[in-house]
Amino acid sequence: MVDERFEPKIVAFLCNWCSYRAADLAGTARIKYEPNVRMIRVMCSGRVDPTFVLKAFALGADGVMIAGCHPGECHYLEQNYKAMRRFNMLKHTLKAMGVEEGRIRLQWASAAEGVQLASAINEMVDQVRELGPLNWAQNWHEDGEVEAAIQRIEEEHAEVMEVPA
Amino acid sequence: MNVTKSNHTFLMQVMDATLGGEALLTCLQCGSCGGSCPSGPDMEHTPRRIFAMIGAGMRDEVLKSNTPWYCVSCYYCTVRCPKEIPITDIMYTLKQMAIEAKLYDDRDAPDFSQSFIGFVENYGRSYEVGLATRFHLTHSPLKKFDYAPFALTMLTKDRLQLRPERIKGIGQLRAILNKAKTMEDM
Amino acid sequence: MRYGYYPGCSLSGLARPYDMSTKAIAEPLGIQLEEVEDWNCCGATEYFAVNKMAAYALVGRNLANAAQQKSFTDLVAPCSACYVNLRKTDHNMGKYPKLAQKVNKALEAGDLSYDPGTLQVRHLIDIIVNDIGYDAIREKVKEPLKGLRIAPYYGCLIVRPELGEPLDDPEYPMSLDLLMEALGAQVVDFPLKAHCCGGHMTQISSDTAYELIRRLLHNAAEYDADAIVTLCPICQLNLDAYQSNINRHFGTDFKIPILFFTQMIGLALGMPPKSLGIGKEFVSAAAMLRKIGTEPELEAAPTGKKQDDKSLPMPGKREG
Amino acid sequence: MSEKVGVYICHCGSNIAGVVDVEDVAKFAGEQIENVAVSRDYKFMCSSLGQELIEEDIRKEGLTRVVVAACSPHLHEKTFRRACANAGLNPYLCHMTSIREQVSWVIEDKAVATEKAKAMVAAAVKRVELHEELEPSEVPVNPNTLVVGGGITGIQAAIELADAGYPVYLVEREPSIGGHMAQFDKTFPTLDCAACILTPKMSDVGSHPNIHLLSYSEVEDISGYVGNFHVRIRKKARYVDEEACTGCGICIEKCPKKVVDDVFEAGMGYRKSIYRPFPQAVPNWPVIDTESCTYFERGKCKACEIFCPTEAIDFEQQDSYIDIDVGNVILATGYDLFDARKVPQYGYGRLANVFTSLEFERMCNASGPTEGKIVLRDGITEPKSVAIIHCVGSRDENHNPYCSSICCMSALKFGHLVMEKTDAEVTSFYIDVRTSQKGYEEFYNRLLEEGMHFVRGKAAEITDAARQPGEEGKLIVQAEDTLLGKQRRVPVDMVILMSALEPKADAKDVGLQFGISCSMEGWFTERHPKLDPVATMTDGIFVAGVAQGPKDIPASVAQGAAAAARVQGMITAGTVEIEPIVATIHEEICSGCKICNNLCPFNAIEFLEDKEVSYVNAALCKGCGTCVAACPAQAISGAHFNNDQIFAEIGGILYDAIGGNGAKAPAKSKEPAPA
Amino acid sequence: MSAAKKGKLANYWAASCGGCEIAVLGINEKILDVAEAFDIVLWPVAVDAKVHSIEKMADKSIDLCLFNGAIRTSEQEYMARLLRRKSKVMVAFGSCAHEGCIPALANVSNREEIFQTAYHDTPSTDNPNGVRPQTETEVEEGKLYLPLFYDTVKTLDQTVEVDYYLPGCPPEPERIWDAIVAILEGKLPAPGSVIGATTTVCDDCPRTREEKKIKEFKRTWEIIPDPDICLLEQGLVCCGIATRAGCGALCPTVGSPCIGCYGPNEGVEDFGARMMTALASVIDSDDPEEIERIIQEGIPDPIGTFYRFSLAASQLRRKTLEGLDPSGASA
């Protein structure tokens, strides 16, 4: 196929109690949704350290979703509010880093919301697909000029050293 | 079950054309709209029934019915609806669809709306004398209502403008309206 | 306090008394009204039925013009339909950014733009009861409306739909009741106070409209109201101008004057009825005025108006 | 030392294998993922043969880690952990990844599904390599139980436990136990007299040697953890000495001050300033309402004190505090009734003859304010027609979106009572009549036979504004009869509003106090809606009755008994295992910055003043990991979900992406494992 | 420390301000002990030595290389590789070599933007011909080369393998001496570690800490902080919570919030993430709009706040190049 559609890789962090169960439910109900999201289970959305998100981007993810129980329904009472605060902080920083807002999403999904989670995933995949690959590592490849430049220095030095003392 | 974009049914069209219209999916058919409606007794179908008909895809029957035209925009149904369906706004949507599809049986109401708008687009303001005259020349809606003495009293009470007032920026207004008309509905 | 003033089409025509009385009471209440420049019609309840985007753009032009004036942040509309259309446009533009984008795209065609939330759209009653307050009004009353039994009539669009912070309860509002009490009047229970006056149905189906009007008059008569006090030009028109027809149609004998709340404020402030446009109503308020000891001045019949050269031709009959 | 990982890909019959190329995934794991010693696919991993396969490999191949790619860990994690344990491997060295719920059931394209399954297996292997051995800890369970709420649910729970021989502290906020049920007249669908079946249970509670009844009391504070809670209870001052009072009631008789009783009589009747809510109250000591008592208002009167034969009145009494230790808590705090004034179109509070369901209950009750006579607000006139309005504040996004579950049956009961006691016509305005329990549909049928009218349509408004002849002086219910498609106006003398059940106004605070969560509306959240309906996410805290969600008396009683049974199970076991998934603060890294201390809703993080570091009490920690994620010094690690494990999982799940180091993880150089 | 066992020492200065060089001198008279223990084979700022004499040395013949500065040109990368090859122990000395430090803040920009600013846009620049540095220039005698200026500043360990890290901007002289002693005595921790404490600045900070709940982040000029209470609890963004101890809490002690020069604590992969998560966790609001406002208003420059010293070493390393104009026109 010539113009193959870009298939983004999205990492999702799902809380054990609501959103992971929503994913279970989506499965049990045989709801088909985009395969691009790969899920990692944590006990609570409050466990999601911003480092996880940054790491996922650095390791090649094109988008990251954090999913937790609805506000007020956290199985750990109120820890999803902390997830929300951190998400806002992270979004603020990522914006400054030039990462488009659509690449990170905080999704509330209760254990009963398989359909909603699936739709949110579809929506996000569409959005990230439109944004295109993030390809973060590409950012510091210096267009492959480095080795040539260093070689030039080596050659220059070799030349100098050949000059008789 | 597949979560993909749904096909374009009449229900979807109505919802898409109405801000907040997706609440229509959750209609309980409880009838608090039909029960609240001041013109409910005179409607061919109560709003509740209209929603059932929309769900059943009865597009022509819905757009032909007098229901949306009998809506008085009192918003009782909207504030009482237990599912927060923007019922009055859906009635506006249905009116617009009916005009576009030329599917209304009774011409009075749609023509009244269009006469009204004709003035607004010509002058920037509405104008009762002209509106009434024009409307009454083409229709006779208030069969029991004698327009002439009514107008005369209005006139003697200095409550009728004899000439329409045209706003200064009518050109600007028309440009804005023309641009707006090229846009898709919300 | 300075407010933007959007009178709307009705107030320059069939609701002229509303305009007169509003302007008359503004000064003593310390309200400065600055009219929105070159305002256009709000579309009433008709434009949204024909083309929603154009309807939003139509209202958008008014908001944009008003916002440009910059000398006020609160925009006051005395007409319910104008109030709800202005408020709905501002509110929905704020709630649905896509709509705001589209409206602004349309406004661009007239070199205008409007940022939702710039203006606070308010009804006249809102500023009178909330900014000025019942107590301040009570203090200013010179001629209390003692003994007058008033049915306070809100109609629909002041209290519904709920767009942002509601002005009053959508089912059983009280602000006009309390205001009339502050003026010294006796407020009767008026269960239909927020029910519909028929709106545009007078133009479309008399059967429907007459029945709606009859209910209101009947309900007010049941409670021996001397007058129905309204906040809306269309409510006033429907209840007043059609009252004789209702009587003919139903064989009733209602004689209830329908007055604007601003006229009642003016009376209580001691202003001459004529200056408030009282006398222009179809159903005479003379009996009511006598009850509070104010003699009505009869409205002189208008002298024949001379044709103004600048007047525009009447539109012709529509083809087909 | 590198680990030896065993990877097992389940076919789940055709559930997985029908979509995922399981052999390919197994081959991929065996050949391309480092440290995978065994990689197999099998028809049903959860079958005993499947489990034996794992056990055998652990023993024979010396596997140190196990990955099972099958269904959701919520289904079979325990199964495979047990299998590992059987073979001598610490159960926490096993990891499951869900290639059924997250792959084969949600993806149609086989190639795409297989790719996703590979990534998930890679992630699982990377993660499991870093797993640590964990051991659950054991703590003893105190046999005392705290039951909060003395309604029928709490009463049932308390009696069940007490009869089984375990001490119970029953705390009730009001002066008497009995709850809402004590206010009712009859119960549906059998029409038993509520008092006849409730009061014997109430007196049981009052006299049971194993029940310490603490009425007119509230839980002030709770700390500790499952098996070992410390509770402080505030006993509000009654101004009556319980030791001295005989409950003779002379004080009540002599009290000159009469006030409207808004609580028990729902505003329909009166009580004195010194009162007991109702004659059969348990305990039967009266209480002085200081808000209305003349002595507390003006410093004079003391009629009660003067006439008390046992000198039991004590105006100087203060609130007192009781500290108790319990092993478990059952919350049965009940509900509040929706305030019908919030639906102004129904006119409650404005139109005299609009009543709430609770007012009507009191009216029907033979010991109520009208002695059981059904009359209008004037107290005399018997209604000739009654309308019953369903779903007042229920099934309504403007108020409560849920169904209150009991109103339909109550409405039928009311219909029956009206027709039994008067000649009135009864019309019910409903959206749906819901009669799903045993004997309920039969009761509906009985009411149809008795001639109750049913209009399908939510009442739009109730007005006294007559429009047409026959409506004068009546209340008119306006609604669309949706079965006719026509608007109807039904004039009646009396309207009964079936108000919604709502969570207690302070339910969210109570939830926070006991460390359990509430739904958005404020109902307590159970651990699992189907499989664990009375336990909560906090071990040792159980919920029962309407506090967990609207339900009727039989269901409430069943839940009370169920909660009691769960508690008995805990007590009988004697000890309780505490999940090892907890956070640990590394003292040598912690600088005592106090970022974490406020983040724990379970108060598991203490600050050790002497060492100036924070410390996690493992018994209180629920393992959410919020503090782990928050620590700026990375001094906290979360067992089984530590950073390295999750980083490895991220790396694995993105094995096929171009990573930050330009490397494609995880390459492997060793020879293929035996298939 | 006998002369017989005298080792060889190299000090090198890449992209950095020179403060690290001064800091070495900050060990005062102990510098003589260093001179006694080592032959200084390379120290451009203090000693005359030639690169080609290093190039001629056998591999691993330098015992210790203290390398300060980040890597932003091909020449610096060349020197890093060379010194790595020649040295037994390579120490990333100071924040720049360790995690990029201030020079790496240039990672919010790119080469073109930087050139545009430096050679054209600054008010003091007079460059009528629009001259720009080129990597190659043709002259009569042949081609002349300048090193390649990178888009992205790198840390030392993103360039070559590093044995130890000595954090700080600059490292405190006491810590430098401790490290030198450890090296001389062979009491080094496992290769790859940071030589320093495992706790954070709070551990050394004398201020009292009560409860962290933040309704508003304040800028330093907005308040005069209470002298005794934790600065963060007063709303100032103090990075002491996440920053490795070692400085003795110099800044917070005198009322200035820590800006994080000692880098993250042991094992932390992203300093900014630790700050973000800790600060966000203690925001005292559950209302999304209010949270948004507190963050937007309180932290106008998140990169400068959270990654002032560690942008190059962070997970993301830099602002995306895509958002920057490769032609530099937007600068």
Chain D contact set for B70 (CB, 8 A): none
What is the spatial distance between Cα B132 and Cα B155, in angstroms, rounded to a whole number? 13
pLDDT at D5 over 60: yes
Tally of domains within chain A = 1
Residues E296, E302, E305, E306, CA torsion sign? positive
pLDDT digits (tens, 9 = 90+) for D386-406: 999 999 999 999 999 999 999
Average pLDDT over residues D201-220: 96
| pLDDT at residue D269 is higher than 70 | yes
Query: What's the CA gap between C99 and E97, in Å, rounded?
Result: 52
pLDDT tens, residue by residue, C2-33: 999 999 988 888 899 999 999 999 999 999 99
Structural domain boundaries, residue A34:
10-140
Q: Say yes or no to pLDDT of B177 above 90.
A: yes
Give the Cα-Cα-Cα angle E176, D633, D637 (nearest 5 degrees): 130
Residues C157, C273, single domain; the answer is yes
Q: Is residue D610 packed enough to be buried (19+ CB in 10 Å), middle (13-18) or exposed (0-12)?
A: exposed
Per-window interface: D 449-478 vs C, CB < 8 A? 461, 463-467
Domain identity same for C107 and C179: no
Residue ranges of the domains in chain B?
10-101, 108-181
Q: What is the pLDDT of residues E101-113, one digit of tens each?
A: 999 999 999 999 9
Interacting residues of B25 by C-beta distance below 8 A, sequence separation 6+: B11, B15
pLDDT tens digits, D558-612: 999 999 999 999 999 999 988 899 999 999 999 999 999 999 988 899 999 999 9
Integer Cα distance of D582 and B178 in angstroms = 65
Q: Torsions phi, psi of A102, nearest 5? A: -65, -10
CA of A102 vs chain D CAs: smallest distance (Å): 20
D441 contact partners, CB below 8 Å, separation of at least 6: D435
pLDDT classification of B162: cutoffs 50, 70, 90: low
Domains belonging to chain D, first-starting first, are: 5-134 (3.40.50), 145-235+322-334+504-575 (3.50.50.60), 250-307 (no CATH), 336-502 (3.50.50.60), 583-638 (3.30.70.20)
At C296 the pLDDT is 62
Enclosing domain of residue E252:
201-306
pLDDT at E323: 66
In 3D space, the residue among C245, C316, C233, C231 whose CA is nearest the CA of residue C283 turns out to be C245
Q: How far apart are CA A142 and CA D256, in angstroms?
A: 93
Residues C106 and C153 placed together within one structural domain of the fold: no
DSSP type of residue C313 = P
List CB contacts of D3: < 8 A, sequence separation 6 or more.
D35, D64, D65, D128, D129
Distance CA D390, CA D408 (A): 7
pLDDT tens digits along D270-298: 999 999 999 999 999 999 999 999 999 99
C112 and C220 share a domain? Answer: no
* Residue keyed to tokens 């501002």: C90
Cβ-based contacts of D485 with chain B (< 8 Å): 34, 45-46, 48-49
Q: Which of D587, D593, D599 is the best mutation test for E, with the most CBs of E within 10 A?
A: D593
**In this structure, are E163 and E279 located in the same domain?**
no
DSSP sequence for D290-330: TTT-HHHHHS---HHHHH-TT--B-TT---EEEEEEESEEE
Q: Is residue E327 part of a domain?
A: no
Other CB atoms within 10 Å distance of the CB of residue E221? 6
Answer whether C169 touches D (CB < 8 Å): yes
Say whether C215 and D465 touch across the interface (CB within 8 A). yes
In a domain, C130, yes or no: no
Q: Give whole-number Cα distances, E119 to D152, E14, E76, E122, E127, in Å.
A: 84, 22, 22, 7, 7
| Bond from prior residue into C302 cis (ω within 30 degrees of 0) | no
Residue E282 near residue D598, CB atoms below 8 Å: yes
A94-117: per-residue pLDDT in tens? 999 999 999 999 999 988 788 899
Query: Does residue E315 fall inside a structural domain?
Result: no
Distance CA D50, CA B52 (A): 53
pLDDT digits (tens, 9 = 90+) for B8-62: 699 999 999 999 999 999 999 999 999 999 999 999 999 999 999 999 999 999 9
How far is C287 from C299, CA to CA, in rounded Å?
A: 15
Interchain contact, E202 vs D597, CB within 8 Å: no
Q: Do A and B count as touching (3 or more CB pairs closer than 8 A)?
A: yes
Give domain status of residue E222, yes or no. yes
* Interface with chain A: mutation pick from D92, D97, D102, highest number of A CBs within 10 Å: D102
> Which phi and psi angles does D422 have, rounded to 5°?
-135, 180
Q: Does D229 have pLDDT greater than 60?
A: yes
Q: Taking CB atoms and an 8 Å cutoff, what residues of chain A touch E75? A: 153
Q: Could you give the CA distance from residue E279 to residue E276 in angstroms, rounded to a whole number?
A: 5
Give C-chain residues touching B135 at CB under 8 angstroms.
203
Region of poorest pLDDT, from A92-101, B109-118, C236-245, D13-22: B109-118
* Contact criterion met (CB < 8 Å) for C219 and D345: no
Separation of alpha carbons D556 and D561, rounded Å: 9
Say if residues C176 and C154 touch (Cβ distance below 8 Å): yes
Mark whether C153 and C119 lie in a shared domain.
Answer: no
- A41 to chain B nearest CA, in Å? 23
Tracing tokens 């009741």 back to the chain, one arrives at C177
CB D275 within 8 A of CB D287: yes
The tokens for D562 are: 């169920």
Which one, of D113, D95, D115, lies nearest residue D104 by Cα?
Answer: D113
pLDDT tens digits, residue range E222-267?
Answer: 999 999 999 999 999 999 999 999 999 999 999 999 999 999 999 9
Residues D500, D406: Cα–Cα separation, whole Å? 9
Tell me what the pLDDT averaged over chain A comes to: 90
**pLDDT band, very low/low/confident/very high, at A165 (cuts 50, 70, 90):** very low
Quote the pLDDT of residue B145: 55
Tell me, what's the pLDDT at B8?
65
CA C222 to chain D, closest CA, distance in angstroms equals: 9
pLDDT at A4: 77
Alpha helical stretches, state H, D574-625? none
Q: Enter the DSSP assignment of D535.
A: B
Domain B10-101 class?
Answer: mainly alpha
**C315 part of a folded domain:** no
Measured between alpha carbons, how far is residue D221 from residues A75, D224, D238, D379, D513 in Å?
Answer: 21, 10, 21, 45, 7
Q: Do chains E and B touch (3 or more CB pairs under 8 A)?
A: no
pLDDT of C158-181, one tens digit each? Answer: 999 988 888 899 999 999 999 999
Tell me how far apart the alpha carbons of residues E238 and A137 are, in angstroms, rounded to a whole number: 31
pLDDT at C311 over 80: no
Residue C273 belongs to domain spanning? 142-291
Preceding omega of D189 cis (within 30 degrees of 0): yes
Q: Does residue A131 form part of some domain?
A: yes
Q: How many CB atoms lie within 10 A of CB E203?
A: 20
Distance, in Å, from the CA atom of B50 to the CA atom of B47, rounded to the nearest integer, reads 5
Residues whose CB falls within 8 Å of the CB of residue C121, separated by 6 or more in sequence, listed in order: C75, C77, C83, C86, C87, C90
Establish if C307 belongs to a structural domain.
Answer: no
Supply the pLDDT for residue E301: 95
Q: Are residues E171 and E52 in the same domain?
A: yes
Residue A164 lies in a domain: no
Structural domains of chain E, count: 3
Using CA coordinates, name the residue in chain C closest to B141: C204
Distance CA D428, CA D390 (A): 7
Answer whether residue C220 is part of any domain. Answer: yes
What DSSP designation does D37 have?
E
Model ipTM? 0.70
**Dihedral angle sign, alpha carbons of residues E283, E288, E289, E292:** positive
Q: pLDDT per residue over E114-144, tens digit each?
A: 999 999 988 888 888 888 888 888 999 888 8
Q: Domain with C220 in it: what CATH number? A: 3.40.50.11810
* Predicted confidence (pLDDT) per residue in D245-258, tens digit: 999 999 999 999 99
> pLDDT at position D278, please?
93
Q: What is the CATH number of the domain that holds E44?
A: 3.40.50.700
Cα separation, D618 vs D608, in Å, equals 15
Are both C11 and C112 inside the same structural domain? yes
Does A157 fall in a domain?
no
For residues E141 and E271, membership in a common domain is answered with: no
Tokens read off for D463? 């007005």
CA distances from B127 to B116, B118, C77, C311 (A): 8, 10, 18, 13
pLDDT per position as a tens digit, D58-101: 999 999 999 999 999 988 999 999 999 999 999 999 999 999 99
Residue D487 with chain B: CB contacts under 8 Å:
34-35, 37, 40-41, 46
Look at residue A82 and tell me if it is in a domain: yes
DSSP A58-114: HTT-SEEEEEEPPTT-BTTBSHHHHHHHHHHHHHHHHHHTT--GGGEEEEE--TT-H
Structure confidence by residue, pLDDT tens digits, A20-58 = 989 998 998 899 999 999 999 999 999 999 999 999 999
* CB hemisphere CA count around C33 (13 angstroms): 23
What is the C-alpha separation between E163 and E262, in angstroms, rounded? 18
Contact E263, E309 (CB under 8 A): yes
Looking at the domain assignment, is residue A160 inside a domain?
Answer: no
User: How confident is the model at residue C314, as a pLDDT?
Assistant: 35
Is residue E331 in some structural domain? Answer: no
pLDDT over 60 at D665, yes or no: no
Helix H or strand E segment including D260: strand D258-261
Residues C262, C209, single domain; the answer is yes
C150 and C52 housed in the same domain? no
Instruction: Let me know if residue C189 belongs to a domain.
Output: yes
Nearest CA in chain D to B39: D487
Residue E190 lies in a domain: no
| C302 band by pLDDT with thresholds 50, 70 and 90 | very low
Q: Do E280 and A89 touch (CB under 8 A)?
A: yes
Q: Tokens representing D12?
A: 């789940």
Note the pLDDT of residue D672.
37
List subunits contacting chain C, requiring 3 or more Cβ pairs under 8 Å: B, D
Look-up of token digits 């719920």:
D101
Find tokens 């005198």 and name the residue.
Answer: E254
C-beta atoms of D480 and B84 within 8 A:
no
Query: How far does the CA of residue B57 sit from the closest CA of chain C (Å)?
Result: 21
Whole-angstrom Cα distance, residue A48 to residue A53?
Answer: 8
What pLDDT was estimated at residue E4?
52
Window 48-67 of B: residues touching C by CB (8 A cutoff) are none
pLDDT at B96 over 50: yes
Q: Is residue E217 part of a domain?
A: yes
Chains C and A, touching by 3 or more CB pairs within 8 angstroms:
no
The CATH number that applies at residue A80 is 3.40.50
Q: Do both E298 and E217 map to the same domain?
A: yes
* Separation in Å, CA of D480 to nearest CA in chain B: 4
Q: Is residue C152 located within the same domain as residue C57?
A: no
CB contact under 8 A, C110 and B173: yes
Count Cβ–Cβ pairs < 8 Å, chain C vs chain D.
20
- Average pLDDT for residues C279-299, to the nearest whole number? 81
Closest CB to E241: pick one of D595, D598, D626. Answer: D595
What would the mean pLDDT of D504-514 be, rounded to a whole number? 89
The CA-based dihedral angle spanning residues D342, D346, D348, D351, taken in that order and rounded to the nearest 10 degrees: 150
Residues C284 and C148 in one domain: yes
Chains that touch B (3 or more CB pairs under 8 A): A, C, D
Whether B29 sits inside 8 A of D482 (CB atoms) is yes
Surface of D (495-514) touching A: CB under 8 A = 508, 511-512
Measure Cα distances from E252 to D568, E209, E216, E228 in Å.
56, 13, 19, 10
CB D615 within 8 A of CB D605: yes
Judge: C171–D344 Cβ closer than 8 Å, yes or no. yes
Q: A148 lies in a domain?
A: no
Which of D404, D432, D458 to probe by mutation at the B interface, max B CB count within 10 Å? D458
pTM: 0.74
Percent of chain E at pLDDT exceeding 70: 96
Task: Give the model's pLDDT for residue D223.
Answer: 83
For D188-205, b where at least 16 C-beta lie within 10 A, e where not — what string? bbeeeebbeebbebbebb
Closest CA to D185 of D357, D361, D337: D361
Residue B153 has pLDDT above 90, yes or no: no
List phi, psi (to 5°) of D630: -90, -25
Which chains sit next to A, with 3 or more Cβ pairs under 8 A? B, D, E
Domain count, chain C: 2
